[in-house]
Structure 1
Amino acid sequence: MKGRTMESVYSDSVAEYEVLRSACGLIDYSGIGLLRIAGSGASAFLSQVSTRSVDFLLEGQISSALLLNSDGSVLAEVLIHCHGTDYLIEIWPAQAAAATEYLVAAGNTGAHDVTVQDVGDEYCVFGIEGPQAPAIAQKFLPFPITSLSYAGFVTTPWRDDLELLVSRTGVTGEYGYKLHVPVAAGNELRRHLVDLGARQVGLAAVNVCRMEMRFANLEQEAAGVTPFEVGLQWMVDFGHDFIGKDALVAHWEAGPPRRPVCWIASDRLQAIPDPGSWLVVEDESVGAVAHAVYSPRLGRVIGTARVDADVAAAGLKLTLEQLTRPIRTTAAPFLVATSFGVPLE
């Protein structure tokens, strides 16, 4: 429900991190944004306001896309679920309020035959992620879990009189699923997931896993920047017109001022540097930290930065100016998710 925020920690963030990497974590997506888009102009509307055309989407498929401001900067990342001629839009909680306001206003312009309905208060959404998540998700499906493809979803009966939306999407690199349930049954579903073996995990642990996979953390990295500056250009389809496209093309032709890189610190660095901390080479500033976390599995501080083009490569040594500690740029992901070694069955 909007207005609520995700819990940062339930017990211990490192223990919760290990649950995600070795068992099954339960993520309560309090505050998630949900909008139902309907009408004969629904697909044209979504193609205009998002960076990906939805014309190719089939029923039961999900597409990830960006919403941009007119200047090409990132407003939010969304998941677009295709229900035939209607669509369900899912928005990460930190961007839900701004993106919901944006989409509702865009739908009210009269440019398309479309209705944009905010249904965020009608549902609870839970994520289950980890190598053991498929076994739990299977309990809610009448067919083999292997038949639910990545970025796919189904609706299925639950408790006789309720309907669940079950999707295969995630943010940790592990097997991941989401379950949407009417809000009145939210607590019952939460208890049932715990009884099945899922353990509640907070946003702090989730964000470490996101960083390890190099899934952009927009609430930390994207204030006022374009997709090029957070490595999300792969989510932009320049083959159709959308809000912010002209500005984005101009930005690319001019050359982004700085480019995103991943980095890993030496074991001498214990403190997590603040966003904006300067990076230097031979006393010359070449960029700044965008976001950083401590990875329990690697035993190192890892992060992202935006740097000058001539140092935007893996394997280069930079120095954190304020802490006088070395870091090394590296390719992503930082590690291989446990689920890659676990057969889906």
Structure 2
Amino acid sequence: MTEVATPPLRKTALNATHQAHKARMVDFGGWDMPVQYRGLIEEHMAVRTSVGIFDVSHMGDIQLRGPNSLAAVQKLLMNDASKLQVGQAHYSAMLYPNGTFVDDVVLHKLGENDYLIVINAGTREKDVEWVRQMIGSMSGVHVMDVSDYYTQIAIQGPKAKDTLQKLTGVDLAPIKNYWFTWGTVCGCHNTLIARTGYTGEDGFEIYVPSDEPTSARVWGEVLAAGEEFGIMPCGLGARNTLRLESAMALYGHEISDSINVFEAGLGRYCKLDKSSDFVGREALLKVQAESGPARKLVGLEMVDRGIGRDGYPVLSLAGEKIGEVTSGSPAPFLKKNIALAYVPVAYAEIGTEVAVEVRGVGVKAKVVPTPFYKRPKPTPAVTAPLS
């Protein structure tokens, strides 16, 4: 039998920088990525309380341009892009005809006939192929895979704005959540500066040229700017625990080609009533008409001692298997053991007690509201009364 050679791991332009800073590297979807630097808990807490920096250049980017680009986006994605203004982004997804997920995405409206779709790292090639298959033959739209054009750096946490503001003349304060602009950052002109992220905190994602010297220089300048706030470089481990505390879906866990939009609890982003049809709409209308999904994604908090890990069975208190954990771990900021899991609708009510099978033993858990963590609202400035 001929052995199939394993392709070499792909590397971002910051790979040598991660190696030089002694990051622990892992294979993530075919990419050689840092899982942690000083430690997952320290990195997680830095983002929750101050600021952290992530290399997210492994994410993919597809640009659609031309007079029919809006029509193409509307066919391809479930949210209603006609509502977006130039400089605005929103969460959406590409669906299969049966209403399950090709991938979840963030769509940016760069111009009246210009859109950028940010896709997941592990599904890059599949996603690009799907986009070309669905809309490649449409006239008036040009599809371009620009994934390797950018180094994407995420600066996240309560001190993210103060850190990035040192490096740009753009006033960051007026940029609202899920809006973006362009400006010079660290000497890089026309940098896309987006107030987006995957941590549940305030923060920004910047897109700079993907050559290694520029990428390494910008990374270093961000770290220097955040030094007074105790900035930490962060790996995928903290990125995962941060997004889990905030109950954000991860492809291959909470969403996949076997899970539909309503099961995943993402119906609020799916605009079945938008004026244009989209791939998967018909199947979802049918699910909706048939009294909804049979199972639901819920948040679980472990009541008894034990950690519900990814893939662990969820049991009724009588010991019957009723579902499965999709993501689970200790929550460093909340200091609890939490999980996301699919269970039958009958078990999805807040307060319902279930068990998670941990090493052959049923450990009691309860269904709780999500997100587990909500970012505190900023305290309004108090002005002293006139005397």
Report the TM-score, using the length of structure 1 for normalisation: 0.92
Structure 2: which 5+ runs fail to align? Answer: 1-11, 13-28, 382-387
TM-fit CA distance, 1:167? 0.5
Aligned residue type for 1:116: V
Describe the superposition over 1:250-269 as per-residue Cα deviations: whole angstroms up to 9, x where unpaired.
22333312111111002511
Q: CA-atom RMSD, angstroms?
A: 2.0
The structure 1 residue matched to 2:328, chosen from 277, 280, 292, is 292
Aligned match of 2:224 in 195, 198, 208?
195
| Cα offset, 1:143, TM superposition | 4.2
Corresponding position of 1:101 = 129
Which residue in the other structure is 1:333 paired with?
371
- Write the letter of the residue equivalent to 1:305: A
Deviating runs (4+, > 6 A) in structure 1?
Answer: none
Deviation at 1:199, TM superposition (A): 1.9
Deviation at 1:160, TM superposition (A): 5.0
Distance in 2 (CA, whole Å) between partners of 1:119 and 1:343 is 41
Task: Spell out, residue by residue over 1:44-91, the C-alpha distance to the aligned partner (whole angstroms, 9 max, x if none).
Answer: 000000001211211111121111011111111111111222111111
Matched letter for residue 302 of structure 2:
A
Query: Residue 283 of structure 1 aligns with which residue?
Result: 319
* Alpha carbons 1:280, 1:287 under 8 Å: kept: no
Task: Give how far 1:200 is off.
Answer: 1.0
Letter in 1 for 2:321: S
The one-letter amino acid of 2:225's match is L
Equivalent-residue separation in structure 2 for 1:343 and 1:210 (angstroms):
27
Residues 89-112 of structure 1: CA deviation (Å, up to 9, x unaligned)? 11132333322221133332x234
Partner of 2:143: 116
- Matched to 1:191, the amino acid is G
Which deviates more from structure 2 when the two are superposed, residues 39-48 or residues 288-297? 288-297
Aligned to 1:266: 303
The question of 1:210 aligning with 2:243 is answered yes
Q: Hey, what does 2:59 align to over in structure 1?
A: 32
Partner of 2:192: 165
Conservation of the 8 A alpha-carbon contact between 2:44 and 2:242: yes
1:335 & 1:55 partners in 2: Cα distance?
A: 31
Report if aligned partners of 1:214, 1:333 keep a CA contact under 8 Å in 2. yes
Task: Specify the code of the residue in structure 2 equivalent to 1:319.
Answer: A
- Percent sequence identity over aligned pairs: 26
The amino acid across from 2:343 in the alignment is: V
Q: Name 1:86's counterpart in structure 2.
A: 114
Residue 289 of structure 1 deviates from its aligned partner by 1.8
Match of 2:91 in 1: 64
Whole-Å separation in 2 of the counterparts to 1:161 and 1:311: 52
**How does 1:166-245 map onto structure 2 within 5 Å?**
166-184=193-211, 185-197=214-226, 198-223=231-256, 224-240=258-274, 241-245=277-281
Aligned length: 341
Gaps (5+ residues) in structure 1? Answer: none
Aligned amino acid, residue 105 of structure 1? Q
**Residue matched to 1:73:** 100
Note if contact 1:295-1:301 (Cα within 8 Å) is conserved in structure 2.
yes
**CA 1:74–1:279 in structure 2 vs 1: closer, same or farther (change >3 Å)?**
same
1:323 aligned to 2:361? Answer: yes
Paired with 2:330 and 2:135, the residues of 1 have a C-alpha distance of: 41
Segment of structure 1 superposing worse, 256-265 or 159-168? 159-168
Normalized per residue, which structure has more helix? 1
Partner residue in 2 for 1:309: 345
- The CA distance in 2 between the partners of 1:260 and 1:159, in whole Å, is 42
CA drift of 1:138 comes to 1.6
- 1:125 is aligned to 2:152: yes
Who wins on radius of gyration, i.e. which is larger?
2
Kept in 2, the 8 Å contact 1:71–1:247? The answer is yes
Q: Residue 82 of structure 1 aligns to which amino acid in structure 2?
A: K
For residue 37 of structure 1, report the CA deviation from its aligned partner.
Answer: 0.7
Specify whether residues 334 and 37 from structure 1 end up closer, same or farther in structure 2 by C-alpha distance, changes over 3 A only: same
Checking the alignment, whether the CA contact within 8 Å between 1:5 and 1:31 is kept in structure 2 is no
Moved more, 41-50 or 271-280: 271-280
For 1:160 and 1:173, how far apart are their aligned partners in 2? 29
Amino acid at match of 2:220: R
More RCO (CA 8 Å, sep 6+): 1
